[in-house]
Structure 1
């Protein structure tokens, strides 16, 4: 793909004529697609619009032939070229877009200056930190899923039944509701949640550990022991 190189605002761009030629269409089709989907295009992101003194200066220094009577000029960025390929939606346009990305937009004639390279590195680092922060927030705010809820519930049932002396014990028959209520009350107080399904995913392992280590408080344990001992005496 042999295109005259145009750079504006530290990036490579294409005129409407260059874009039309690359996509195997004409200027009119490109312009119509743009006007029909104008709300999707943003100046500075998908195109750079030159007018007035900025346009006159560009024409005076440009290596391509442009009419001095132009009153405005659209220069299309890589993202703008993608939107046009999407509007045309032909194999020729998509193939041309891939070639533009590989052979025009992402090709640098000269190495970037140290200052520009450092700026790019800093911006990249800021983006990574933002992404990590977002991921950390999501992990902290996501709740346990249904399978994890089921695992917590099953572990809680086992722990409470064991504390009562088993499913056949007198304490289980007479006190199971109270002991289960005591367990879930302590569980929700510890994790500061209204229901166990609101536990954050990040605290799932801690929740399981809490369930496994839970024991009735002293007064409740005495009642359980007394209830079970009464059965053994009968």
Structure 2
């Protein structure tokens, strides 16, 4: 007699449709009986869910129907109400199957010294593997961390920045940073203002603003966007090997 045990979050249960089939009952009659058991259990202030757990299934028409999941206690209650061959066979089936499943869930306890030594060796090997795997993951995280840290810093800031503020990330002056970007062919100086070469002018790296000095004079100032800030970061890192201070400190630690 086949009986399927359901592992419901660690609790072993049998579905009421299967119980009905094994006991030769109509499922509707078994549901009616279970509801009467639940009424008695509730009135006695016992815990009905320790015996029967409400559930649902879809019938052949695709309609949702009520069923119950029976715990071992629930199976005992149903079996105790039965007589004859069907009851005996059902009792034998669920008792045997529950024991099989419970044994599978039990921890593997060694029964002899050789078994204990073998288990200890297996656990030591597994622990060594987990330590190695964890060390490898940590290394990968540490390798990616500098970029992630600086990117996070940049992406959290949505405002425009002067070149002096970006240069501060690298521990240098705005003048030195401007010269460095000029050497890299990114910008050129027009009068007192640094402008991007045409190759980079339409990339959204900068925004220029005009500031009035007096009623007759004004001055153009170039500010870098966060996209431009990341462009500087990638360019300095890849072409000059220059990193922001935050990454140098992380690599040194």
The structure with the greater share of residues assigned to strand is 2
| TM-score (norm. length: structure 2) | 0.34
| TM-score (norm. length: structure 1) | 0.36
User: Rg bigger for which structure?
Assistant: 2
The structure with the greater share of residues assigned to helix is 1
Higher relative contact order (CA 8 A, sep 6+): 1
